[in-house]
Amino acid sequence: MRICSLLPSATEIVAQLGLIDALVGVSDECRWPSEVIGKPIVTAAKIDPSTLSNFEIDQAVRASLADGASLYSVDADLIEELAPDLIITQDLCAVCAVSSGELANACPAGTSMLSLDPRTLAEVAESVRMLAHAVDRIEHGEQIVAEMWATIHAAANAVQGLPPKRVFFAEWTDPPFSAGHWLPEMIELAGGLDVLGNAGQPSRPTTWEAVAAAEPELIIVAPCGFDADAAAARAEGIDFPCPAVAVDADSYYSRPAPRLADGVAQLAHLLHPESGPDPGLPAITLRQLSATD
């Protein structure tokens, strides 16, 4: 089978299913595992986030969506040349990746298309099963799902019964975006209460004044698509009203893939360090507004 994955999360799952060699094309955001680097790139973002501030990225995205323009370019000729049997895409978020509608003129005849659109942890697990079924790796998919839930349940059990910590999870910083989809669920499992999140719904913009008014005990900075170092750099200059920490959103929070389970384990440790074992994932302590500021 020849597979084009236009989703970093799907690329991770394909790799976990033991089918890296079947990947003939990926998006420019597919960078894990490292073996996928160097695969032909069939779609790329039109905005280069490395050259823009978070505010500038937000404005560019809003302008593009308002104009009805796609944020991604698709190399239809390369897809035709690669002749995939399966193309994996999504319709969950116009900002995150190419949608199935944008591939209407780029899907070669005879090619199957699979759209993965999970909004909850259970739906993430189901998307693994769907993909495993599509590539005839059903048993392997069930094993991946079982391991995912085992990690999540172990973290949840470690903090069970403890008073929940109030958390603001920032999916973006300028403006701040509250958490959506699976993230409030992850926080709850880890012994927390997301003060502004919307479980199962898209993230939404808010203000740092509203965040402070919600009185979180911990702010987790995880701008979508960035690792912990980049998150910390993009949070520079923000005076947080409580302790704050930057984490690797790109690997463990933003992508609907089995590594979300590791994110739950990290959250349990960050919220209840005396009970939740440290999984050893990147976490950078950020500046808190002091009483003298």
Among 262, 64, 11, which Cα is nearest to 148's? 262
pLDDT for 203: 92
User: Domains plus CATH for the chain?
Assistant: 3-117 (3.40.50.1980), 143-286 (3.40.50.1980)
Phi-psi region of 248 (alpha: psi -120 to 50; beta: other; left: phi over 0): beta
Query: What single-letter amino acid sits at 126?
Result: E
Q: Tens of pLDDT along the chain (293 residues)?
A: 999 999 999 999 999 999 999 999 999 889 999 999 999 999 877 666 666 677 776 676 666 555 655 566 888 889 999 999 999 987 655 455 565 555 655 666 578 889 898 999 999 999 999 999 999 999 999 999 999 999 999 999 999 999 999 999 999 999 999 999 999 999 999 999 999 999 999 999 999 999 999 999 999 999 998 999 999 999 998 989 999 999 999 999 999 999 999 999 999 999 999 999 999 999 999 976 544 34
pLDDT tens digits, one per residue of 249-274: 999 999 999 999 999 999 999 999 99
**Residue 31 DSSP class:** -
Give the C-alpha distances (Å, rounded to integers) separating 193 from 36, 196, 202, 263, 269.
Answer: 36, 9, 17, 15, 14
Sheet holding 165-170, edge to edge: 192-194, 165-170, 218-221, 244-247, 283-286
pLDDT for 166: 98
Q: What is the pTM of this model?
A: 0.89
**Residue 78 DSSP class:** H
DSSP, collapsed to helix, strand or coil, labels residue 277 as coil
CA distance linking residue 69 with residue 173, whole number of Å: 24
